[in-house]
Amino acid sequence: MLHDFYTEYKEKLTTPKKAVEVVKSGDWIDYTSCLGKPVLLDRALAKRRDELYDVKIRGNLIAGPIEVAECDEHQAHFTYHSWHCSSYERKLCDRGLCYYIPMVFHNNAAYYEFFLKVNVVMVSVSPMDKHGYFNFSVNTGVAAPITRVADIVIVEVNEHLPKVHGGYDECIHISDVDYIVEGEHEPFVGSKAILPTDTDRKIAEKILPYIVDGATLQLGIGSMPNALGELIAESDIKDLGMHTELCSDAYLSMYKAGKLTNRRKKIDRGKGVFGCAVGSPELYEWVDDNHGIAAYPLEYVNRPGIIAQIDNMVSINSCVSVDLYGQVAAESSGSRQISGTGGQLDFLIGASASHGGKAFICMSSVYKDKNGVYHSRVRPQFDGDIITSPRSQVYFLATEYGVINLEGRSTWERAEGLISIAHPDFREELIREAEKRKIWRRSNRC
């Protein structure tokens, strides 16, 4: 006879207002990530603003609003932090209401295990099953390591969250939960579709020939990966696999076209592996109760040693700019935080070590500022910019003008290659800058 967990459920069930009474001034609170945001608990905690001081909250890739950040512009009561900024959290940073935490995702669990304090974790989960388990859903990548170290665990049952099968740590048992809250939630509207531009499609066309049958893909978020997903869906490539920190609608497009089978993977054969998922309602429906999908913590998904075991692993991410030395800025524009390091370094290292693996960083050759002036994304040399990927780790770089490989290349070879994929209008100027820095071979011709 199965144990009746519903008696324990009723004993731990409380209101959001009562649950947040455990929070004390000076506490560290964690909201985990993505759809794990505890909407009802966040709202209830914000209402306690005037009686609490110096409460610090962590989250990442969370859509707005975050009530504790919005209700206290002076930050005497609440201070919000993000491991990786969503478009909403980026706007909070612009307002001085969010502080970025530098990191690499495969170390996320270790940060909590060895270095960070969590007084209270508040996380949204799917409804409990008959065995007493709540599913972390599309938040599996980060949730379990945080709940393990928290002094107090509060779960918020969200009736709309999909139940996602996992490799491990995709669930939490009721015996490890201190409080449970329920309430009505708005259905997920999904993230706004990022439509590929003509430039995105040109870059994707340059990368497509490097992808072989049976390759496993990691795609970052954004319009260029979406463009690549569309091209692959229309191509003759077959039997692709998924191993990615972030599952997006690009994978759904490939699956619907019959391209994503995961059957040739050497590890997690037959399973599309991800850590977190952000996308459309249709994406969440696809990952729900799907035995062809496995969610894992990012300590597994993003571990370079795991990634390296996957033959023909292809990693595709974006950046803001690159300098002539091959340094990559992918998370900020100057000092303005845009996103985060995320898994770019993890997959650069892992995919480079994979048999047949390749790691691409992509960008348009130019961008237009608010005054309508065009600027080159290939820069002479960074001066104060935040470097996401060091020149020693960068592999392939791609723009709409081509793809270059920087592995094992000298300074002049790097400069020559980068100038060859820069916008033609900026090449002569970049050559002069390379000559000044003595990284332009005298016999070079661009």
Backbone torsion region of residue 142, taken as left when φ is above 0, otherwise alpha when ψ lies between -120 and 50, otherwise beta:
alpha
- Both tokens of 272, joined, read 């599309």
Per DSSP bridges, beta strands 366-368 and 402-405 are unpaired
In DSSP terms, 329 is beta-bridged to 321
* Contact assessment for residue 60 and residue 30, using Cβ atoms and an 8 Å cutoff: no
The span from the CA of 361 to the CA of 225, in Å, is: 11
Q: Report CA-CA distances (Å) from 159 to 162, 185, 190, 261.
A: 9, 7, 15, 30
The span from the CA of 195 to the CA of 204, in Å, is: 13
How far are the Cα atoms of 228, 243, 244 from residue 215, in angstroms, in the given order?
A: 14, 10, 13
Active-site entry in 67, 170, 245, 331: 245
Cα–Cα distances in angstroms (integers) from residue 130 to residues 1, 35, 156, in the given order: 12, 23, 17
Residue 413: partners with Cβ closer than 8 Å, 6 or more residues away: none
334 φψ region: left (φ > 0), alpha (ψ -120 to 50), beta (else): left
Whose tokens are 């799907």? That residue is 290
Q: Is 396 helix (H, G, I), strand (E, B) or coil?
A: strand
Greatest Cα pair distance in the chain: 82
DSSP category for residue 422: S
DSSP secondary structure string for all residues of 232-264: HHHSS--SBEEEEEEE-HHHHHHHHTT-B--TT
User: For this structure, is 245 an active site residue?
Assistant: yes
Rounded (10°) CA dihedral 231, 236, 237, 238: 120
Query: Does residue 153 contact residue 121 with C-beta atoms inside 8 Å?
Result: yes
120: enclosing H helix or E strand: strand 120-125
Residue 14: count other Cβ atoms within 10 Å of its Cβ.
16
Query: Catalytic amino acids?
Result: 245
